[in-house]
Structure 1
């Protein structure tokens, strides 16, 4: 759906549902709602005001079933950039987002929203490492191989290291996508080391500070914003137990086990578990020592429990995707593992969309 709906009835339904929620939570009157809906009906489309956009983006985070960090939904900083027209203007807005969110390591949750239907950002995240298929094997992040090939077809040439920052690819309307390099100086990265096992630092690992998701669309009142990159801060296991450890990502557990002297000849030694714990400990230690915001999965689960209590006090039912909410390491040590939760989708919300390439 876009601002051009199939029928006035369809326009009013989602817009009315959203704006009814808006007045309920902001204290506006029924008279205001009736006038607003009459304006939408007359216009034949719904174009959220900046105030409605801010509210909708925050509630979309509150409704995000896969996110364990929803306690902080009210703190989301919403940047309305729907007036921008060119790929270059959009690129500069994305750079501003990266700078604002990074904040010298004191990460700030933010979302930048561009004109509905007109803008697509081809990157899965604004900052991500490239992946290469080389004669000597895979280098970098295997997940990024398809997009890396796209960037190279558009003229980009990476250095061929395990941690090359991919460029931004921006498309406006039906025009050819434009490629922009991200200035190195604005990308904050953390070198990974362990407080006890110095051998882990010899693996020369690092990770970027801010996960800015850019492949999801934001749906508010029936209007879909296909370019609305947003970020919180990392939970440690996202890096240590997934990006670094997954066999289809950097697949580092064997190297970590070897570095710290674990017996990998038998599963009975639990070498994978031990390597996983130490790798995650290294991630948390490194981010903390560098003053970069991060949360461990136990604290994140406690924060989610507080979010549940706050929502209950407000009379709202918490929904969630259990398989995403449980952390990928020691999930049974959190209350979420033992608690059923309904995976009911509510709007406003963020939704995955097909890759444009």
Structure 2
């Protein structure tokens, strides 16, 4: 089975990159021998880079795939020293943030290193404040003797393990994490809520599968679409659940549903998210532009004779979905390789 998956991957790669059949067959023979001797094979850096990019291209839930070939791939499989690992994680955050001009990036490590965080940057969750989505991770950190300020926006440390050793955590320096205060140019009361969000979503709880090989530690990022923050993170009832507070800041009547206060608040708040990021010099995309980019991605894939798969419920934005291209289309949710896969939960902790 592994040889079949490896052969399919190498064949697709070499054909797409227009590498001659002789070179391709030589590579497949090397892989066949390696699998026969070790039940495993090792990707070259070129195969790793191609595979990671195509995994993004195949990601059914991602509306930002137009930029799949712009992904910066960091091959860090050689790292086995703890301090080198921590330095490389902070380097990823710094390079990806890029002073606000977000760079799509993935860092791929050996499976001897584990990351327990859902994202490299995430806010803590307590019983009465913070992000409820992070409560299990926060409890784990407290078990590891981590202490915090107990605010709505405490940055969680990196939780990791080397070579099946003990779990450890590393607290980032404040200057490493770029955060954006949320303001509205017409409603100054919004600023009084002291809301903010971090600049870069770096997913760290998914497996990268390439040609039958699974990389369990491969944190990656793009940039935010405004609704991810403004509709989901801040207003879902099981997240920060701030919609009524936000509506009050906009002086909306929340005593009746017929005032459409929820709808008005969502539109104005997402406007505030988008322009707060822009005014802070941080990359972000609005859901209309993202949909137009996805349409262009579909056109590019059609020209390349590749089928576009997708999960409709993720591609249709959660704000005014019927106004964008994706809403009116159906997509095949077939999972293809290479791809990013959700890890199987081993326990209640940690992990989008």
Count of matched residue positions in the alignment of Structure 1 and Structure 2 = 343
Query: Could you list the per-position Cα deviations for residues 173-203 of structure 1 after superposition, in whole angstroms to 9, with x for gaps in the alignment?
Result: 3211121111110100000000101110111
Q: Please give the alpha-carbon distance, in whole angstroms, between the structure 2 residues aligned to 1:127 and 1:105.
A: 15
Confirm or deny: 8 A CA contact 1:127 1:165 kept in the other structure. Answer: yes
Task: Name the counterpart of 2:191.
Answer: 201
Task: Name the counterpart of 2:96.
Answer: 101
Q: Please give the alpha-carbon distance, in whole angstroms, between the structure 2 residues aligned to 1:275 and 1:88.
A: 45
Confirm or deny: 8 A CA contact 1:11 1:46 kept in the other structure. Answer: no
State whether structure 2 residue 170 is matched by structure 1 residue 170: no
State whether structure 2 residue 111 is matched by structure 1 residue 121: no
Query: Could you list the per-position Cα deviations for residues 199-228 of structure 1 after superposition, in whole angstroms to 9, with x for gaps in the alignment?
Result: 101110000000000000100011000000
What secondary structure, in the 3-state scheme, does the structure 2 residue paired with 1:112 have?
strand
Q: Please give the alpha-carbon distance, in whole angstroms, between the structure 2 residues aligned to 1:236 and 1:34.
A: 46
Task: Name the counterpart of 1:149.
Answer: 139
Q: Please give the alpha-carbon distance, in whole angstroms, between the structure 2 residues aligned to 1:69 and 1:42.
A: 38
Task: Name the counterpart of 2:334.
Answer: 344
Q: Please give the alpha-carbon distance, in whole angstroms, between the structure 2 residues aligned to 1:355 and 1:186.
A: 30
The unaligned stretches of length 5 or more in structure 2 are: none
Confirm or deny: 8 A CA contact 1:87 1:171 kept in the other structure. Answer: no
Task: Name the counterpart of 2:78.
Answer: 83
Task: Name the counterpart of 2:311.
Answer: 321
State whether structure 2 residue 220 is matched by structure 1 residue 225: no
Q: Please give the alpha-carbon distance, in whole angstroms, between the structure 2 residues aligned to 1:284 and 1:302.
A: 17
Q: Please give the alpha-carbon distance, in whole angstroms, between the structure 1 residues aligned to 2:317 and 2:63.
A: 9
What secondary structure, in the 3-state scheme, does the structure 2 residue paired with 1:171 have?
strand
Q: If the length of structure 2 is used for normalisation, what is the TM-score?
A: 0.96
What secondary structure, in the 3-state scheme, does the structure 2 residue paired with 1:140 have?
coil
Q: Please give the alpha-carbon distance, in whole angstroms, between the structure 2 residues aligned to 1:171 and 1:223.
A: 21
Q: Please give the alpha-carbon distance, in whole angstroms, between the structure 2 residues aligned to 1:146 and 1:218.
A: 24
State whether structure 2 residue 206 is matched by structure 1 residue 216: yes
What is the deviation of 1:33? 1.7
Q: Please give the alpha-carbon distance, in whole angstroms, between the structure 1 residues aligned to 2:28 and 2:150.
A: 54
The unaligned stretches of length 5 or more in structure 1 are: 1-9
Which of 13, 23, 27 aligns to 1:22? It is: 13
Output aligned runs, 1:257-268, within 5 Å.
257-268=247-258
Q: Please give the alpha-carbon distance, in whole angstroms, between the structure 1 residues aligned to 2:63 and 2:72.
A: 18
Task: Name the counterpart of 1:12.
Answer: 3
Q: Please give the alpha-carbon distance, in whole angstroms, between the structure 2 residues aligned to 1:12 and 1:78.
A: 25
Runs of 4+ residues deviating >4 angstroms: none
Output aligned runs, 1:37-116, within 5 Å.
37-44=28-35, 45-115=40-110
What is the deviation of 1:89? 2.2
Q: Please give the alpha-carbon distance, in whole angstroms, between the structure 2 residues aligned to 1:68 and 1:256.
A: 27
State whether structure 2 residue 329 is matched by structure 1 residue 335: no
What secondary structure, in the 3-state scheme, does the structure 1 residue paired with 2:129 have?
strand
What is the deviation of 1:112? 0.1
Q: Please give the alpha-carbon distance, in whole angstroms, between the structure 1 residues aligned to 2:169 and 2:243.
A: 34
Task: Name the counterpart of 2:149.
Answer: 159
Q: Please give the alpha-carbon distance, in whole angstroms, between the structure 2 residues aligned to 1:183 and 1:274.
A: 38
Q: Please give the alpha-carbon distance, in whole angstroms, between the structure 1 residues aligned to 2:213 and 2:222.
A: 23
Query: Could you list the per-position Cα deviations for residues 9-56 of structure 1 after superposition, in whole angstroms to 9, with x for gaps in the alignment?
Result: x22101001001110111211111211111112112221000000000
RMSD after superposition: 1.0
Q: Please give the alpha-carbon distance, in whole angstroms, between the structure 2 residues aligned to 1:300 and 1:83.
A: 36
Q: If the length of structure 1 is used for normalisation, what is the TM-score?
A: 0.94
What is the deviation of 1:355? 4.3
Per mean C-alpha deviation after superposition, the further-off stretch among 297-306 and 262-271 is 262-271
What secondary structure, in the 3-state scheme, does the structure 2 residue paired with 1:132 have?
coil
